[in-house]
């Protein structure tokens, strides 16, 4: 194809006549190149500078020009005055407005802004200058904005100017920590113990921090706020470990009008006397939960624990030896490792080379401990006269006494004196206080006809057995 008459004839054949643009020429576009092709070629060229025969740059590449324009600053007096200045009257107005909104129970904060709110709070909660400065530093530059992928600063702001100052500051903080640690030991009563007997704070596995998110606590608080009566179910084998003091504190401070009821569950897994003593006594407050307590209470999954064999000695401390021997039919072990080895060889859980699988057997023992296959319980604390527990629970099961007439009271006193005489060491009747808890059966003798005449009630730890006896009598 060519130009001129031949090109005009070609356009006529293709039906491109009559548009009036036959003689219009576009810059950078001809018969062989259109605008798109020219733009692509320029893109290839602009990445390199154009040079002459001597090698000097005649035209710089894009964004690589070395020509510096003259810098001009606007002559304005605002460059020499303070910026973002607020008066004390405005701050006082802001403080009053914030206090009014904070005390309003119908106002809910959904999302907080990133403004320096410490100016409005005016350091009310700060105990000193250093604490106040630390609090302001955390509010103005949080950890997530200084370190990590969302960091906005290139250099961390430190309070020291040299390595020597950093070493001195670290030594001062360590001395302060040792003083506070010694004070805590004196208050807790473990200052005179050996280093091996003291509880040392150490890093725990991440699995022990699961299930403690703010979302789960918010769901729990929603249920508590919408309820009038809260039933706290405790495990009769370990009521201390299954009691949540955070909920009790929340009900005491925020909702004192709500009723809190404690229910002892799984009473058939402990002796009746132990369950009754827990009903009479007051559950003491527990200290900080250790990883061993969390594992034995079933808070975390045993499969997620890295070294489950380290918790077996705690199991042996809670379970009597003859219960372990009866459950697994093993004898002759002296420590937890020997028990796991014997149990692994008996059950056939061996690794390559005939080595016992201690981890697998330890998980099996922990699951049996939590699921009730191994009988165990926590003894109740001794009853003192100055206890703050519920009084007048003198029954065998911790029940409240019923109202009786004068005749019933005299008969009851006679029966109690008769029982006391019968339970003497030489009488040969009654139950032994040092009895052994064999499995899940009852731990007391059957009631005598004298007891039944007096109207006393004796509970059984196996409901099915008592029901079958009643059916036979019927």
Q: What's 294's domain CATH number?
A: 1.10.1580.10
Evaluate whether 208 touches 291 at the Cβ level (below 8 Å): yes
Structure tokens that stand for 345 in this block: 């060889």
Query: Can you tell me which residue has the tokens 């130009």?
Result: 3
Mean of all residue pLDDT scores within the chain: 73
Tell me what the mean pLDDT of segment 265-293 comes to: 73
Q: Helix, strand or coil for residue 261? A: strand
- CA 404 to centroid of chain Cα atoms: 51
| Cα distances (Å, whole numbers) of residue 174 to 12, 117, 193, 194 | 95, 31, 22, 21
**pLDDT for residue 17 is more than 60:** no
243 and 352 assigned to the same domain: yes
Domain residues for the domain of 347 are: 214-371
Which residue, of 371, 393, 427, is where some domain finishes? 371
Q: How many domains, in total, are found in the chain?
A: 2
Structure tokens that stand for 452 in this block: 């039944």
* pLDDT at residue 443 in the model: 43
pLDDT higher at 340 or 201: 340
pLDDT higher at 256 or 420: 256
243 and 342 assigned to the same domain: yes
- pLDDT tens digits, 348-398: 888 888 888 888 899 999 999 888 888 887 777 665 544 444 555 555 555
- Which uninterrupted H or E stretch holds 259? strand 259-265
* pLDDT at residue 54 in the model: 92
Evaluate whether 321 touches 327 at the Cβ level (below 8 Å): no
220 and 353 assigned to the same domain: yes
**pLDDT for residue 3 is more than 70:** no
Q: Which of 392, 390, 412 minimizes the C-alpha distance to 457?
A: 412
Angle between helices 214-225 and 245-254 (to 10 degrees): 50
* pLDDT at residue 52 in the model: 93
- pLDDT tens digits, 87-133: 888 888 888 888 888 888 888 777 777 666 766 765 555 566 667 77
pLDDT higher at 432 or 148: 148
Residue 448 included in any domain:
yes
Q: Which of 221, 265, 266 minimizes the C-alpha distance to 247?
A: 221
219 and 366 assigned to the same domain: yes
366 and 256 assigned to the same domain: yes
Buried b (16+ CB within 10 A) or exposed e, 125-138: ebeeeeebeebbee
Residue 365 included in any domain:
yes
* Phi, psi for residue 230 in degrees, rounded to 5: -110, 125
Tell me what the mean pLDDT of segment 223-247 comes to: 86
422 and 333 assigned to the same domain: no
* Phi, psi for residue 51 in degrees, rounded to 5: -120, 155
220 and 286 assigned to the same domain: yes
| Cα distances (Å, whole numbers) of residue 148 to 154, 218, 401 | 11, 28, 66
pLDDT higher at 280 or 200: 280
Percent with pLDDT over 90 in the chain: 2
| Cα distances (Å, whole numbers) of residue 68 to 38, 58, 63, 65, 72 | 30, 16, 12, 8, 12
Tell me what the mean pLDDT of segment 226-234 comes to: 90
Integer Cα distance of 270 and 376 in angstroms: 7
* pLDDT at residue 113 in the model: 72
pLDDT higher at 206 or 401: 206
Evaluate whether 415 touches 309 at the Cβ level (below 8 Å): no
268 and 362 assigned to the same domain: yes
pTM confidence score: 0.36
């Amino acid at each position: 194809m060519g130009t001129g008459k031949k090109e005009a004839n070609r356009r006529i054949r293709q039906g491109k006549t009559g548009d009036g643009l036959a003689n219009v020429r576009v810059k950078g576009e001809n018969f062989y190149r259109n605008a798109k092709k020219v733009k692509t070629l320029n893109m290839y060229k602009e990445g390199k500078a154009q040079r002459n025969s001597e090698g000097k740059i005649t035209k710089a590449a894009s964004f690589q020009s070395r020509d510096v324009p003259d810098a001009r600053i606007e002559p304005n007096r605002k460059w020499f005055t303070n910026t973002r200045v607020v008066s004390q009257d405005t701050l006082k107005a802001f403080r009053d407005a914030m206090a009014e909104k904070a005390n309003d129970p119908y106002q809910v904060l959904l999302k907080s802004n990133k403004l320096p709110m410490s100016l409005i709070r005016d350091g009310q909660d700060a105990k000193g200058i250093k604490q106040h400065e630390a609090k302001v530093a955390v509010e103005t530059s949080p950890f997530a904005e200084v370190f990590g992928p969302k960091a906005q600063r290139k250099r961390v702001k430190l309070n020291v100017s040299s390595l020597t100052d950093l070493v001195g500051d670290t030594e001062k903080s360590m001395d302060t920590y040792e003083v506070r640690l010694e004070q805590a030991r004196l208050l807790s009563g473990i200052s005179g113990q050996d280093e091996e007997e003291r509880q040392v704070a150490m890093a725990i596995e991440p699995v022990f921090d699961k299930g403690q998110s703010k979302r789960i606590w918010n769901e729990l608080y929603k249920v508590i706020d919408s309820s009038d009566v809260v039933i706290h179910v405790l495990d009769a084998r370990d009521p201390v470990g299954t009691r949540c003091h955070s909920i009790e504190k929340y009900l005491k401070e925020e909702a004192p009008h709500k009723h809190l009821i404690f229910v002892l569950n799984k009473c058939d897994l402990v002796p009746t006397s132990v369950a009754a003593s827990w009903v009479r006594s007051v559950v003491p407050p527990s200290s900080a939960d250790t990883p061993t307590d969390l594992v034995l209470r079933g808070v975390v999954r045993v499969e997620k624990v890295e070294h489950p064999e380290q918790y077996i000695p705690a199991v042996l401390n809670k379970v009597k030896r003859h219960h372990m021997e009866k459950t697994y039919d093993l004898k002759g072990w002296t420590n937890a490792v020997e028990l796991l080895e014997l149990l692994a060889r008996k059950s056939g859980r061996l690794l390559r080379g005939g080595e016992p699988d201690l981890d697998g057997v330890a998980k099996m023992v922990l699951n049996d401990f939590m699921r009730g296959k191994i009988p165990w319980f926590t003894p109740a604390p001794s009853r003192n006269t100055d206890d703050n527990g519920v009084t007048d629970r003198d029954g065998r099961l911790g029940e409240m006494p019923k109202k009786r007439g004068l005749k019933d009271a005299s008969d009851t006193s006679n029966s109690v004196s008769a029982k006391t005489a019968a339970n003497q060491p030489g009488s040969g009747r009654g139950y032994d206080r040092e009895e052994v808890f064999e499995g899940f059966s009852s731990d007391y003798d059957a009631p005598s006809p004298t007891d039944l005449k007096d109207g006393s009630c004796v509970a059984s730890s196996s409901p099915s057995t008592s029901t079958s006896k009643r059916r036979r009598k019927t």
